[in-house]
Amino acid sequence: MMKNLKLYFSLLLLSIAFLIGGFLSTDEILDINVHDTYYVVAYNHLYYLISIVAFLFFLVYWIFDKI
């Protein structure tokens, strides 16, 4: 049963895990200092970004596998 499971499905699981983590994260923020400018980013936005990127990588690998 699990023999036909491809490695790129781990990217799908990773994107789902980060999406759930984004919903469950608290209101913590990340401060990034670049020269004289502070960039303030919420952790849940970072989780969403990583989730989207991992899902896009999954789609690319899945489409190339189907072609």
Number of domains in the chain: 1
Q: Is 61 exposed, middle or buried, given 0-12, 13-18 or 19+ CB atoms closer than 10 A?
A: middle
Look at residue 51 and tell me whether its pLDDT is greater than 60. Answer: yes
User: In sequence order, what E strands does 1-67 have?
Assistant: 29-34, 37-42
pLDDT bin (cut points 50, 70, 90) of residue 30 is confident
**pLDDT of 18 higher than 80:** yes
Burial class (CB in 10 A: 0-12, 13-18, 19+), 43: middle
SS3 28: coil
Domain of residue 53 covers: 2-66
pTM of the predicted model as reported, rounded to 2 decimal places: 0.78
